[in-house]
């Protein structure tokens, strides 16, 4: 369902479904009642300015009846956000794809307290590409290679690669070393993520998540004397928090992970201690050219700044 309002300042208009009936005579009365905690003068002003529209592009005015339209679109009044002290870098750009190195702490898409401060909105504004959309996502705390579609006409071909698992991805992680573990190691488990529970969980049952883990390098932490490893992770599936859960299940939880194996109390972001997880590379056969294609991150984990190619 295409929005009748264009992207503004990199942010999509918000869609609202209208009730078929109720005590409200007009659409505006319903919106005022639903958002009674918001400045009512600002809501009225948006209707007066003609910034509320229906699916066919019809302007929804202060007097438009409640049930005249099933859906309406409007622009949210966004709070001023403090810019996060992290920056994106562009690895590749053409008429179809934009590939970036997403830093730690920057979310892929708007959500919660982050709207303008998301990779999507930053890129739409920076590149003047209002129809840019992510083809996949990375957690806010994970850095690395992230793909965006710049062309709606070819978008489906790239999305299909992910749906059909025709993408090869590798990650790098820094975590403690357990000498008794033998690598390469393949971890398989059944994972479940509830919408009402913050963490992903491993549960009994047929495995639906698989990760291959290799140990690439080791170093001793000069502060603690702990032996740390640089791991290469190749997920065969893409469950929420899969890599973090699978390493934690082996007793080698990723450094600076506030969730696994132990959930820490919420605290302000510590930019000096990012989660030591990096989306290192992504490879696929380009559906438009048929050519093998690969993109690699230029970032390094702070625990292993020299990295391994």
pLDDT of 32-60, one tens digit each?
A: 999 887 788 889 999 999 999 999 999 99
pLDDT above 70 for 212: yes
d(CA 127, CA 86): 18
pLDDT at 308: 67
Q: What pLDDT does residue 225 have?
A: 86
What's the rounded mean pLDDT across residues 139-151? 97
Question: What is the C-alpha separation between 245 and 49, in angstroms, rounded?
Answer: 50
Query: With 60 as the cut, is the pLDDT of residue 21 above it?
Result: yes
- pTM (two decimals): 0.88
Per the CB < 8 A criterion, the answer to whether 67 and 27 are in contact is no
Question: pLDDT tens digits for 247-284?
Answer: 999 999 999 999 999 988 888 999 999 999 999 999 99
CA torsion, ordered 203, 165, 117, 71, to nearest 10 deg: -90
Query: Distance between CA 59 and CA 65 in Å, rounded?
Result: 12
State residue 122's pLDDT score.
97
pLDDT at position 109 over 90: yes
Mean predicted confidence (pLDDT) in 284-296:
97
Between 184 and 111, the more confident residue is 184
Least confident among 31-45, 104-118, 218-232, 289-303: 31-45
Nearest 5°: the CA angle 153, 157, 158 is: 105
Under the banding of pLDDT at 50, 70 and 90, the label for residue 309 is low
Q: How confident is the model at residue 102 (pLDDT cuts 50, 70, 90)?
A: very high
């Amino acid at each position: 369902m295409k929005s009748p309002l264009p992207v503004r300042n990199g942010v999509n208009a918000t869609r609202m479904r209208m009730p078929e009936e109720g005590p409200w005579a007009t659409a505006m009365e319903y919106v005022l009642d639903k958002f009674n905690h918001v400045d009512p003068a600002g809501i009225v002003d948006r209707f007066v300015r003609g910034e509320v529209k229906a699916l066919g592009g019809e302007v929804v005015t202060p007097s438009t009846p409640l049930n005249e339209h099933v859906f309406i679109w409007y622009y949210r009044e966004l709070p001023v956000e403090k810019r996060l002290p992290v920056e994106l870098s562009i690895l590749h750009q053409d008429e179809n794809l934009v590939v970036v190195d997403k830093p730690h702490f920057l979310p892929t898409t708007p959500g919660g307290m982050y709207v303008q401060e998301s990779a999507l909105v930053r890129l739409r504004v920076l590149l003047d590409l209002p129809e840019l959309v992510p083809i996949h996502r990375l957690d806010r705390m994970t850095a690395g290679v992230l793909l965006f579609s710049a062309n709606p006409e070819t978008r489906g071909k790239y999305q299909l690669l992910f749906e059909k698992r025709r993408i090869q991805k590798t990650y790098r992680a820094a975590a403690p070393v357990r000498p008794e573990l033998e690598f390469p190691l393949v971890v398989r488990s059944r994972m479940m993520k509830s919408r009402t529970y913050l963490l992903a969980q491993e549960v009994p049952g047929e495995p639906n998540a698989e990760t291959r883990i290799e140990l690439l390098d080791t170093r001793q932490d000069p502060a603690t004397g702990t032996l740390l490893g640089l791991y290469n992770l190749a997920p065969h599936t893409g469950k929420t928090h899969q890599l973090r859960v699978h390493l934690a299940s082996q007793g080698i939880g990723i450094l600076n992970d506030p969730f696994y194996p132990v959930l820490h109390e919420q605290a302000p972001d510590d930019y000096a201690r990012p989660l030591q997880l990096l989306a290192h590379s992504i490879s696929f056969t380009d559906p438009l050219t048929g050519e093998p294609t690969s993109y690699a991150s230029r970032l390094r984990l702070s625990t292993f700044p020299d990295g391994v190619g």
